[in-house]
């Protein structure tokens, strides 16, 4: 890659680093947020769930906007919105204020993230150069998430509000660098409102919002309410399909969904992200509320799981070139099964040495899964649909996050019902920790279908 190419990649990596650090710092801070704002466990998941709702609900629209309105334009504009509302979360005095700020921050990420990834996948030619850029990009996101665990712990010790204030300065620097370094694109062809698939955008966004809402709200409402929301989502999806078949410039060309690698990558992303975020949510509650560890101790305990920040840009490219995406992803998923399985029988008095194997294996698993899945989801996709392919993948990651949080919360709350003892709390955590194991096993099955490919094709899962 040229010096200019590295500079652009650096800016885009800065944005995904910012997103990673923003998410993980909030994850460490949730018990402190609960203590000050008086939120229940079910309400507490909305601090993360609201972000996911905005992210997952608007992602398809964000990805297509990048393709139609300009990737640089969307990236810069929504990075600015991300900065503003990420900072506003620190001023919240009620739970609903924080949740609202997180929702809008998620919407900003829904437009910013696919624009950033599609800049990479369109600027670097398909093959080793793009694979390297994507793996560096993925590794940087992982590094942000990992560093956020420690920084979030340090800031939460001071005041949890700094978890939202601190990223603003860094984000401002990234914004200035993006304006200076990312080349201005050719002005998009002027389009009338009729050329935009407004009906498709409305029905797709409504369907995704209702689906993510149904998943996130499931632990708090009756099964009837959840089913009604799911049925409403399905109805919007059906209308969306009808619309996409009839409009001249659809939001989603339905033919893109015939790509087996793309579909497998997205389903595996849903299951894998859900397993990790569900595990992290329970782990933080276990360490801080049962074991009474401080936020800083919690962050340091999870720090070793960030080994993927080193492995992703160094070891993973070698493995992909040698064995192909699908085998690397499958190996990473199997390691994930082992990692979560080892933690299921957690005890009240576990030493950190007993937890350490799980933490190490999670980092290895992420290094082998995240980047190769990103490559698989965008390989072979035409340039003018790279934003869409990126948006589909990010939607899957966020929907998986919502699904994982909702399921583990529902299982933990149900298992705890009627018991307020330390042993009852521990048993509820154990029950919830089964969910990540099952999710990753399902991802192994889905990815395994990718092994059936043409002889000699070692790069496409």
Is pLDDT above 80 for 390?
A: no
| Closest C-alpha among 263, 209, 193 to residue 58 | 209
Is pLDDT above 50 for 461?
A: no
pLDDT of residue 279: 93
pLDDT of residue 441: 96
Q: pLDDT by residue (tens digit) across 232-263?
A: 999 998 998 898 888 877 777 777 777 788 88
Rounded Cα gap, residues 296 and 286, in angstroms: 14
pLDDT band at 190 (very low <50, low <70, confident <90, very high): low
| Closest C-alpha among 115, 101, 111, 133 to residue 33 | 101
Q: pLDDT by residue (tens digit) across 83-120?
A: 899 889 889 888 889 989 998 998 898 898 888 888 88
Mean pLDDT across 60-74: 83
CB atoms within 10 A of CB 348: 11
* Token output for 189: 């062809």
Reduced to 3 states (helix: H, G, I; strand: E, B; else coil), residue 292 is: coil
Least confident of 225-239, 267-281, 344-358, 367-381: 367-381
pLDDT of residue 139: 74
pLDDT of residue 48: 76
Gap between the terminal Cα atoms of the chain:
26
Is pLDDT above 90 for 358?
A: yes
Q: Which domains does the chain have, with CATH numbers?
A: 3-184+197-450 (1.20.1250.20)
Residue count of the chain = 461
Q: pLDDT by residue (tens digit) across 286-312?
A: 998 889 898 888 878 888 887 777 887
Q: Residue 257 gets which letter from DSSP? A: G
Rounded Cα gap, residues 392 and 394, in angstroms: 6
Residues above pLDDT 70, as percent of the chain: 93
Burial degree of 165 (CB within 10 A; 0-12, 13-18, 19+): middle
What pTM value is reported for the model? 0.78
- Interacting residues of 6 by C-beta distance below 8 A, sequence separation 6+: none
Check if the beta carbon of residue 329 is closer than 8 Å to that of residue 367.
Answer: no
**How does the average pLDDT of the chain come out, rounded?**
83
| Closest C-alpha among 443, 441, 434, 440 to residue 410 | 434
Check if the beta carbon of residue 98 is closer than 8 Å to that of residue 37.
Answer: yes
Q: pLDDT by residue (tens digit) across 121-152?
A: 888 777 777 878 887 887 787 777 777 777 88
* Token output for 437: 């194991």
Check if the beta carbon of residue 132 is closer than 8 Å to that of residue 317.
Answer: yes
Q: pLDDT by residue (tens digit) across 3-17?
A: 777 888 889 988 888
CA atoms lying within 13 Å on the CB side of residue 289:
23
């Amino acid at each position: 890659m040229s010096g200019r190419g590295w500079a652009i990649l650096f800016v885009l990596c800065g944005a995904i680093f910012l997103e990673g650090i923003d998410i993980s710092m909030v994850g460490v801070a949730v018990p402190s947020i609960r203590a000050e704002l008086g939120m229940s466990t079910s309400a507490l998941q909305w601090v993360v769930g609201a972000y996911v709702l905005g992210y997952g609900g608007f992602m398809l629209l964000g990805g297509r906007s990048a393709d139609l309105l300009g990737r640089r334009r969307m990236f810069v504009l929504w990075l600015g919105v991300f900065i503003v509302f990420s900072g506003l979360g620190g001023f919240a005095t009620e739970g609903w204020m924080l949740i609202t700020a997180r929702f809008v921050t998620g919407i900003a990420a829904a437009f910013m993230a696919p624009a950033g990834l599609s800049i990479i996948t369109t600027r670097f030619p398909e093959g080793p150069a793009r694979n390297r850029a994507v793996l560096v990009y993925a590794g940087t996101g992982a590094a942000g998430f990992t560093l956020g665990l420690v920084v979030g712990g340090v800031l939460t010790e001071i005041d949890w509000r700094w978890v939202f204030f601190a990223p603003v300065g860094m984000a401002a620097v990234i914004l200035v660098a993006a304006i200076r370094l990312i080349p201005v694109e050719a002005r998009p062809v002027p389009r009338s409102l009729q050329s935009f698939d407004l009906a498709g955008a409305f029905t797709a966004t409504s369907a995704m919002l209702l689906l993510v809402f149904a998943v996130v709200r499931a632990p708090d409402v009756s099964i009837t309410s959840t089913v009604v929301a799911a049925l409403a989502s399905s109805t919007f999806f059906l209308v969306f399909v009808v619309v996409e078949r009839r409009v001249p410039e659809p939001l989603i060309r339905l033919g893109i969904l015939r790509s087996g690698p793309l579909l497998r990558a997205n389903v595996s992303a849903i299951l894998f992200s859900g397993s990790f975020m569900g595990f992290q949510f329970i782990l933080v509650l276990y360490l801080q509320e049962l074991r009474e560890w401080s936020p800083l101790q919690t962050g340091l305990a999870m720090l070793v799981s960030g080994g993927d920040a080193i492995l992703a840009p160094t070891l993973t490219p070698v493995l992909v070139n040698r064995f192909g995406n699908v085998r690397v992803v499958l190996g990473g998923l199997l390691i994930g099964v082992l990692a979560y399985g080892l933690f299921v029988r957690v005890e009240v008095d576990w030493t950190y040495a007993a937890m350490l194997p799980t933490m190490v294996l999670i980092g290895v698993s992420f290094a082998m899964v995240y980047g190769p899945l990103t490559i698989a989801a965008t390989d072979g996709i035409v340039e003018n649909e790279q934003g869409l392919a990126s948006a589909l993948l990010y939607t899957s990651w966020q929907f998986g996050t919502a699904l994982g949080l909702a399921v583990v919360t529902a299982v933990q709350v149900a298992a705890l019902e009627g018991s307020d003892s330390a042993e009852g709390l521990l048993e509820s955590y154990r029950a919830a920790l089964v969910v990540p194991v099952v999710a990753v096993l399902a991802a192994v099955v889905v990815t395994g279908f990718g092994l059936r490919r043409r002889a000699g094709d070692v790069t496409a899962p």
